[in-house]
Amino acid sequence: MLVNCLNIIVGVFWLLLHYIRLDYLGDIPLSQVVYYWIAFGVMNFFLYYGLTQLNTENDYLNTLTHQATIDPLTQLKNYAVFKTDFTKKFGEFHSSKKPLAMIALDIDYFKRVNDQYGHLAGNKILIGVGKLLIGAVHDLPDAHCYRVGGEEFNVLLPNISLEQASQFSHDLQAKIRQATFQISENQNIKITVSMGVSTLHASDKTQNLFYERTDQMLYHSKGEGRDHVTVDTELTKSSTTGFGNPVSSTQN
């Protein structure tokens, strides 16, 4: 539509020049007007076609990027992006010394949900948890959420202290516990989550040490009966595992 309008405007412009006969332009023959009009139309067509192709390719690349980086179910970043971001933040910590906290989160008894209500119900739970995570980090511009496994999630909290991360985790746990998830037209259920919270230490020479410590906090929560948040306090060190002393709570 825009192309046709431009062609008409340019055509009218050249016709006006032909009939007005401005002194400094001289006489412009009608054949020359038609030639310029056609030349502009052809040029305009190829320009429009080229831009359309570029936009199509750009949309395609954006779609591929989205598919490669975003979990289609929860709309959270996927494990591949988590690994990239985790590596970047780990490097930034050792150069800037700014704090970095991480949360490992697991939906309690998720297999029971799938077995009892079906996988479609399980998917609705995952979608709901994803929305709650996105909402929870909305006011933390540097924070990012990831779905790293079936019912497993990670949250990276740059520039957040361990105490702040602990409070954030307890608040998030309470929101999930209080939420109602609709799994069918006439049925709603509630769920709980287990969490592990840790902060990056200067002594963490590799990413695995930090990741495994956070994971250890999560498994401690599960071992305590689930629906727990376990925070690495770094008050003591274990000579065999190198993990901080975990403190577990259900803080309602």
Tell me the per-residue pLDDT of 66-90, one tens digit each, with 9 for 90 and over.
557 899 999 999 999 999 999 999 9
- Residue 186 phi, psi (nearest 5): -120, 15
Region 174-202: what's the mean pLDDT?
94
Rounded to the nearest 5 degrees, what angle is found at the Cα of 20, between the Cα atoms of 8 and 1? 5
Contact of 212 with 232, CB cutoff 8 Å: no
Confidence of residue 241 (pLDDT cuts 50, 70, 90): very low
Q: Does residue 180 have a pLDDT over 90?
A: yes
Greater confidence (29 vs 102) lies with: 102
Confidence at 28, pLDDT banded by 50, 70, 90? low
Pairing mode of beta strands 152-158, 244-249: unpaired
For residues 147 and 78, the answer to whether their CB atoms sit within 8 Å is yes
Distance CA 137, CA 129 (A): 13
pLDDT at 194 over 80: yes
Q: Which residues are catalytic?
A: 151
CATH placement of domain 79-249: 3.30.70.270
Measured CA distances, 26 to 15, 18, 29, 99 (Å): 14, 9, 10, 74
pTM above 0.85, yes or no: no
pLDDT of residue 100: 94
- Give the per-residue pLDDT at 245: 47
Question: Computed over its alpha carbons, how large is the radius of gyration of the chain?
Answer: 30
Q: Where are the domains of the chain?
A: 2-69, 79-249
pLDDT digits (tens, 9 = 90+) for 210-233: 999 999 999 999 999 999 999 998
For residue 47, the model assigns a pLDDT of: 77
pLDDT at 32: 64
